[in-house]
Amino acid sequence: MRTNSLLQMVIRNLGWALLSVFLALAIWVAANMANNPVEQGEVRGVQVRVELPEGYVLTRALDTASVTAVVRAERSQWDLLTASDILVTANLRNFKEPGEYRVELQAEVASPLHARVVALRPSTFTLGIDREVEKRVAVQVVVTRDPPLGYTYPADLTCDYSEVVIRGSAERVREVAHVEARLNLADELNPVTKLVSLTPVQEDGLRAREVEMEPSSVACMVDIQPREDIFQMPVQPKIVGNPPPGYNVVRYSAIEPDTVVLTGDLAAIREMPGLVRTAPIDLTNRTETFTTEVTVDLPAGVTTVPENQTVKVTIVIEPQISTRQFEEVPVEVTGIDPTQHRASGLAGTVTVFVSGPLNKLPNRENLRVIVDLSGLPAGNHEVVPQGVLVGMEDTTGLTVTVSPDELGVTIEALAPTPTPTAPATAPGTG
């Protein structure tokens, strides 16, 4: 009897106990939500993974490589969430025929994060698939730039692979006619092995797209050798005549090209002095730098490659630089008021040197030497004499030097300011 009473009491109180637990849990959840509320936001740049049927490849690429995911998560989770934690999939595994299909994107959040993707933008993609095929195609060696003149290479160039495997969709693989190993030999003067990337090419010569190659690069051996019928020789201008007096030929600033390639009578080429002279360039009456284009002078039976090669020669002509000395050039004083100050001890004449083109050097009447005393107080000073050219239209390239380069001068005031005296002190004061 007592056992039944105890059981009845437990049953009567069990409801209250369960209600208490539920209320406690509700209070805890409410408190937790207040401190860590659920928030909704966007995660941009989420990458899309495409799952394909076995043996298929994409023929229509994604319009965009990423989507924007709208995610709901507690505030604490947002601090941990990144775009890589959201897994977005375009599942094409159930499609077994080539074609284009519009698929719904699926998304989830990677564990252990607690969040939910509520929307994707865009939410669907249109993708094309085709069966993956492969075929073997030939490697063709194409020289895009030849070696320098005077060098050659065999016509039958080979690489370490004569064929490669092309993989991709049936449509893309069908378009590939061959692959090319494109060689640039413009700077090669010796046998060389070049590692080059392969280029898939269609029948029309355009580059094929969206295929894979195995291997994707090849090593090509090129036996570059000097041509026995070709010789390279430097060019030397042939100068005749001289500039007028007062001018010098300074240098050749440019010879273009400075070497030429010769072919033809080998005996005549071997008898040449190891260089090629140009046609004569006359310097008579030349007073300025000039550029001229001339042919080269070759023996009979010898021609240039290309034929009728011409050479541009720039010859620098400058006036002769000379120095003329002028003794006892008078010194002129400026910048002093003769009613207030007097200058003494200043040299009356100096020596002047003028350097420059011989045809521009001045005469004595074109020279003045000036000493400017403006702003100098009474006392002893060292001043710099200035040489000045006057009465000349063109003084370009002329340099004037005065010797000595400093002169001593004493400046005296003609009416010195009296020195103030202290007032007299009365006897018995101070």
Which value, in Å, is the radius of gyration of the alpha carbons in the chain? 49
Report whether pLDDT(11) > 70: no
How does pLDDT run across 57-92, given as a tens digit for each residue? 988 766 667 899 999 998 888 888 999 999 999 999
Last residue of a domain, one of 288, 319, 350: 319
Q: Does the residue 6 lie in any domain? A: no
- Is 383 within a domain? yes
Through-space distance between the first and last CA atoms of the chain, rounded to whole angstroms: 136
In tens, the pLDDT along 361-379 reads 899 999 999 999 998 999 9
Residues 392 and 363 both lie in one domain: yes
Burial readout 102-119 (b: 16 or more C-beta within 10 A, e: otherwise) = ebebebebeeebebebee
pLDDT digits (tens, 9 = 90+) for 404-427: 999 999 999 887 655 555 555 555
CATH of the domain at 155: 2.170.120.40
Check residue 380 and give its pLDDT: 93
What three-state secondary structure class fits 155? coil
Would residue 32 count as lying in a domain? no
Considering the domain architecture, whether residues 342 and 363 belong to the same structural domain is answered as: yes
In this predicted structure, what is the pLDDT of residue 113? 83
Residue 114 lies in a domain: yes
Contact 272, 328 (CB under 8 A): no
Q: Which of 295, 319, 343 is the last residue of a domain?
A: 319
**Is residue 246 in a domain?**
yes
- Separation between Cα atoms, residue 238 and residue 310, nearest integer Å: 14
**Mean pLDDT, the chain, whole residue set:** 87
Q: Do residue 282 and residue 262 come from a single domain?
A: yes
- Note down the domain range covering 344: 321-413
Helix (H) or strand (E) holding 291: strand 290-297
Residues 141 and 217 in one domain: yes
Instruction: Give the CA-trace dihedral at 5, 10, 11, 16, to 10 degrees.
Output: 140
Residue 102 region, left (φ>0) first, then alpha (ψ -120 to 50), else beta? beta
pLDDT at site 386 = 95
pLDDT of residue 111: 83
- Indicate if 288 and 358 belong to the same structural domain: no
Examine the domain organization and report whether 71 and 142 are in the same domain.
no
Tens digit of pLDDT for each residue in 112-126?
888 999 999 999 988
Residue 232 has a pLDDT of 86
Predicted confidence (pLDDT) per residue in 301-357, tens digit: 999 988 889 999 999 998 888 899 999 999 999 999 888 888 899 999 999 999 988
Of the three residues 94, 122, 150, the one that is the final residue of a domain is 122
Contact status, residue 177 vs residue 137, Cβ threshold 8 Å: yes
Residue 175 has pLDDT above 60, yes or no: yes
d(CA 334, CA 371): 6
Give mean pLDDT, residues 144-173: 91
* 422 located within any domain: no
* pLDDT > 70 fraction of the chain, expressed in percent and rounded: 87
Q: How far apart are CA 250 and CA 125, in angstroms?
A: 75
Strand partners, 232: 261
pLDDT value for 23: 62
Question: What is the pLDDT at residue 369?
Answer: 95
Phi, psi of 110 (to 5 degrees): -65, 140
The pLDDT of residue 430: 41
Q: Summarize pLDDT for 189-238 with one digit per residue, the tens.
A: 899 999 999 999 999 999 999 899 999 999 999 999 988 888 889 999 99
Same domain, 246 and 180: no
The answer to whether residues 135 and 218 belong to one domain is yes
- Across the range 247-261, mean pLDDT stands at 89
Residues 216, 252: one domain? Answer: no
The three-class DSSP label of residue 308 is: coil
In this structure, are 370 and 313 located in the same domain? no
**What is the longest distance spanned by two Cα atoms in the chain?**
152
Query: What CATH number corresponds to the domain at position 326?
Result: 2.170.120.30
Domains in the chain: how many in total?
Answer: 4
Nearest-angstrom CA–CA distance, 225 and 221: 13
- Residue recorded with tokens 């200058």: 343
Q: Are residues 312 and 327 in the same domain?
A: no
Angle at 199 between CA 197 and CA 202, to 5 degrees: 170
If asked whether residues 325 and 315 sit together in one domain, one would say no
Residue 18 has pLDDT above 70, yes or no: no
pTM of the model: 0.49
Measuring CA to CA, which residue among 296, 290, 274, 286 is closest to residue 240?
286
CA of residue 213 relative to chain centroid, distance? 33
Specify the residue for token string 């100096």. 350
Contact (CB, 8 A) for 54 and 131:
no
Q: Which of 248-252, 287-291, 395-399 has the lowest mean pLDDT?
A: 248-252
* 403 has a pLDDT exceeding 70: yes
Number of residues that this document lists for the chain: 430
Is 1 within a domain?
no
Residue 429 lies in a domain: no
- Which residue(s) pair with 200 in the sheet? 179
H-type alpha helices, 234-391? 266-271
* Residue of 300, 286, 143, 147 whose CA lies nearest to 220: 143
